[in-house]
Amino acid sequence: MSTVKIGETLKINLSGKDFLSLKDVSKEEILYLLQEAAAMKNDKIQNIFKGKTLAMIFEKSSTRTRVSFEAGMAQLGGNALFLSSKDMQLGRGETIADTAKVLSGYVDAIMIRTFEHEKVEELAKHAAIPVINGLTDMFHPCQALADLLTIQEIKGGFNGLKAAYIGDGNNVAHSLLIGCAKVGCDITVASPEGYEPDQDVVKLAKGYAEETGAQVSITNDPVSAVKDADVIYSDVFTSMGQEAETEERLNNFAPYQVNSTLVSHAKPDYIFLHCLPAHRGEEVTADIIDGPNSAVFQQAENRLHVQKALLKALLS
């Protein structure tokens, strides 16, 4: 079992590595990135990337991912290129391997936000530079880093905490499961039957939890999930690419709305998190997401700081 503690100064070398999921990084590496992000939050401008360029490939639209990476590179003295798949030869049939090899000769790192996780893995396989997963249908590791940073800032650490994720067992849930398990935070995911997280991801998370002493649970009961929770997390009921299922999902997920009745089962000082964008009146009511326990905008800002810490670690 790892003995690293929150607040311990860590020196970890991630230079030149890829960042595809939290499966690929250790507890020490996660805590190191959080440590760096906290430091960079207090020292926003660091001109360490003069002449360096990040290519950002978007096959899914974005607000937080694009702006945080682009602003982050600018604050570090580098440049970021927005590359829509519609404007690239990828959209006309060029292979991922060829794209990876070409971009490796032009830029210093690639961030991609796409659908299939296999596409990110293929890109990393053929690129000679670091590849960052900005989101796939399976994982959202950059979001999970921001989530963990927010929890650490407000709660002071992870041991002894319980996080409850309520809703679709999607990419956000997958990364949160792995992230919480690795840092020692208990995590329960409550989803309707048929919408639970991927079983292989749950198995991985439970394996990591054995090393840190955390508890990982999957349930169909949102009330039991939030009982005595320190953190309640929600996401949209219908993600990008699932629009045809909207009506069915709204019906199936209605009992999983985070509202005043549900949160009454959590600890009084719980914090509410949401990866945004949010649909008030669907997965969460306005009084919760806009209320005193909500930390969603602190969480959103933290995307910038963890992105910068990640870029610094991979490109230094």
Instruction: Give the C-alpha separation, 264 to 187, whole Å.
Output: 18
Q: Could you identify the residue written with the tokens 């230094």? A: 316
Q: Which of 109, 102, 167 is nearest to 133 (CA)?
A: 109
Q: Has 199 been annotated as catalytic? A: no
- Give binding residues for carbamoyl phosphate as ranges: 62-65, 89, 113, 140-143, 275-276, 303
Cis peptide before 277 (omega within 30 of 0): yes
Token readout for 272 is 């509410």
Q: Has 140 been annotated as catalytic? A: yes
How large is the angle between the packed helices 27-42 and 171-183, nearest 10 degrees?
Answer: 100
Residue 55 has phi, psi (to 5 degrees) of -90, 130
Instruction: Give the C-alpha separation, 195 to 74, whole Å.
Output: 39
Instruction: Give the C-alpha separation, 100 to 123, whole Å.
Output: 6
Q: Has 113 been annotated as catalytic? A: yes
* Catalytic one of 117, 174, 274, 303: 303
Can you say whether residue 127 is alpha, beta or left, with left for phi > 0 and alpha for psi between -120 and 50 degrees? Answer: beta
Instruction: Give the C-alpha separation, 64 to 275, whole Å.
Output: 9
- Give binding residues for L-ornithine as ranges: 171, 235, 239-240
Instruction: Give the C-alpha separation, 130 to 48, whole Å.
Output: 17
Q: What local confidence, expressed as pLDDT, does residue 238 receive? A: 86
* Catalytic one of 108, 152, 174, 275: 275
* Catalytic one of 35, 75, 137, 140: 140
* Catalytic one of 113, 117, 274, 305: 113
Taking the model in full, what pTM does it have? 0.95
Question: Are the beta carbons of 85 and 59 closer than 8 angstroms?
Answer: yes
The pLDDT tens digits along the chain (316 residues) read 344 455 566 678 999 999 999 999 999 999 999 999 999 999 888 899 999 999 999 999 899 999 999 999 999 999 999 999 888 988 778 999 999 999 999 999 999 999 999 999 999 999 999 999 999 999 999 999 999 999 999 999 999 999 999 999 999 999 999 999 999 999 999 999 999 999 999 999 999 999 999 999 999 999 999 999 999 999 999 877 778 888 899 999 999 999 999 999 999 999 999 999 999 999 999 999 999 999 999 999 999 999 999 999 999 8
* Catalytic one of 35, 75, 143, 152: 143
Instruction: Give the C-alpha separation, 191 to 292, whole Å.
Output: 25
* Catalytic one of 180, 186, 235, 249: 235
Instruction: Give the C-alpha separation, 208 to 22, whole Å.
Output: 11
Domains of the chain: 27-139+303-315 (3.40.50.1370), 141-239+251-299 (3.40.50.1370)
Q: Could you identify the residue written with the tokens 């959590």? A: 266
The SS3 assignment for 218 reads: strand
Q: Which of 128, 126, 125, 135 is nearest to 56 (CA)?
A: 135
Q: Has 143 been annotated as catalytic? A: yes
- Give binding residues as ranges: 62-65, 89, 113, 140-143, 171, 235, 239-240, 275-276, 303
